[in-house]
Structure 1
Amino acid sequence: MPLSPSQTREILAQIDHLPRKHLGQNFLVDANIVRKSVELASVAATDRVVEIGPGLGTLTRALLSTGAQVWAIEHDPRLAAYLRTDVMPDAGGRLHLMEGDALDAPRAGLATNEAAAGFKVVANLPYAISTPWMDSMLADPLPQHMVLMLQREAADRYAAAPGSKQFGAISIFLQSAFDIAPGHKVPAACFHPRPDIESYLLNLVRKPVPYLFSPETKRLIRACFQQRRKQVSSLLRGKLPDDGQSWISTLTLEGLDGRARPEAIPTKAWQRLSVT
């Protein structure tokens, strides 16, 4: 069972820890949401699971209860010490805990060869690192499945459709590699301390044939969205050998032309863009 708000407050007092807002330390205290996270990811005893920011280990314990192996990374030294003392002894050697920054170790220490054999991610992802962390995960080997607790704003941006204001480079990169399955709304009351915003469980399933952009192409697409009100013919001028005209000519397949703005161009069209 997850810790109740009163139990969470008691443990935080015992370890002399005040939740740090800039690290997104809002601790999950709702049993239904913990169960839903594990269920959406279909976590089984044979799975390797990466968790980011385990905090007091509420979700960690639920993942371990399935029999899965869990790789977790915790940035806060006090919380990492608590996990080593209160969670690891009961984990039967299945909790691999790393103390550090998830941007430096996005797979929480899971080795590349083990990741290549298949892994999942189930995490309450801090808002401050959500996009750079997500970007780092969009590389081989890709997780089979990710269930991520995110601020609703971030979830909407990742799932945004072309033509919307939220649609951007990260939407393109993510939706090229993962299908967005039904998720779950998470009210602020499910956390301690209670955040000011609504959260969402984003449910991502790896595509049968995922598409990954080259680093150079990703840089160009990001640059285009930094000036998203300009026409793509203007944005690509001087950036590609033919000023992007060969790619722009393919936009007719989408009923578009060089006057289109980046947010109007669908993901499949961006996949035809290549920087060589």
Structure 2
Amino acid sequence: MTVTLLGAAEIRRLAAELDVTPTKKLGQNFVVDANTVRKIVTAADVRAGEHVVEVGPGLGSLTLAILETGARVTAVEIDKRLAAHLPSTAAAHGVPEDALTVITSDALRVDELPGEPTVLVANLPYNVSVPVLLHFMETFDHLQRGVVMVQSEVGERLAAAPGSKIYGSPSVKAAWYGAWRLAGTVSRQVFWPVPNVDSVLVGFRRDPEPRGTEAERLATFAIVDAAFNQRRKMLRQALSGVLGGSAAAASEVLERAGVDPTLRGENLTVEDYLRIARALA
């Protein structure tokens, strides 16, 4: 059986039938170009037999492109109308019934995915892209790799290296789980409605072993937040609140971790932050 993709006219017709108007509140911008959804699936290297989780499938354009490869999809959709209609759209386009599972839920509240998918592919809502990504990386350690489409500024920050102006808290927290890379750009014109920002594809691959324990992750992330809340200050000042209550106490912990207290947060790798957390402990 061959899976066919949605075209722009059919997407608009489906939206009209379901009385769905893309909303800013839910960060909805539907992709109406078949070449673009295939580009996302190719960038993610999705293969037949794999199990993919998709966040925010909407009307199903990317969902069908994933299913076209012969992969199975678990789709997480917050909009009840869209979630209820997705299986019939898939069936009408040649998708076998057992290839698609739909979970009607806020992605930030999902704590279980049936079948433990190993690949994440999504056009993430702009307003919650980083929280959703970090929630999925933290909650589902069976996710080994993936590609997501996000706002350009967000994608560049996720993939940023230490020392750059755009390197920040999301960069470090994402790096806790593995390596991130920019995997392509996406034209505004492939969306309906057309957004007023550019989009990029960001790919990740999880490290084979966890970087640290859950307690160490929480401690590290608290230190990261403190460092970037006052990113213009030296670490001994920015971290004084979480490393003993004074610049002198913070300096002592930093030196114990082998980190120069006069550096700023943007100069440190995720490994540096973990060493600080371990030195504090």
TM-score under structure 2 length normalisation: 0.86
Letter in 2 for 1:273: I
Greater Cα shift, 133-142 or 215-224: 133-142
Q: State the alpha-carbon separation in 2 of the partners of residues 244 and 211 from structure 1.
A: 24
Is contact 1:64-1:91 (8 Å) kept? no
- The alpha carbon displacement at 1:142 in A equals 4.7
Q: State the alpha-carbon separation in 1 of the partners of residues 15 and 71 from structure 2.
A: 27
Confirm or deny that 1:64 pairs with 2:67. yes
Spell out the pairing of 1:1-276 with structure 2 (5 A cutoff). 1-87=4-90, 90-105=95-110, 109-111=112-114, 114-115=115-116, 119-139=118-138, 141-212=141-212, 213-240=216-243, 242-243=249-250, 245-251=252-258, 257-274=260-277, 275-276=280-281
Is contact 2:226-2:239 (8 Å) kept? no
Is contact 1:178-1:210 (8 Å) kept? no
- The alpha carbon displacement at 1:250 in A equals 4.5
Identify if the C-alpha distance between structure 1 residues 88 and 232 changes in structure 2 by more than 3 Å, giving closer, same or farther: farther
Q: State the alpha-carbon separation in 2 of the partners of residues 251 and 164 from structure 1.
A: 21
Letter in 1 for 2:29: N
Identify if the C-alpha distance between structure 1 residues 195 and 244 changes in structure 2 by more than 3 Å, giving closer, same or farther: same
Q: State the alpha-carbon separation in 1 of the partners of residues 25 and 230 from structure 2.
A: 28
Is contact 1:165-1:263 (8 Å) kept? yes
- Give the share of equivalent positions with the same residue, in percent: 36
Letter in 1 for 2:104: E
Q: Where does structure 1 lack aligned partners over 5 or more consecutive residues?
A: none
Is contact 2:254-2:261 (8 Å) kept? no
Is contact 1:71-1:97 (8 Å) kept? yes
Q: Where does structure 2 lack aligned partners over 5 or more consecutive residues?
A: none
Q: State the alpha-carbon separation in 2 of the partners of residues 132 and 30 from structure 1.
A: 27
Paired residues, number: 266
Identify if the C-alpha distance between structure 1 residues 183 and 14 changes in structure 2 by more than 3 Å, giving closer, same or farther: same
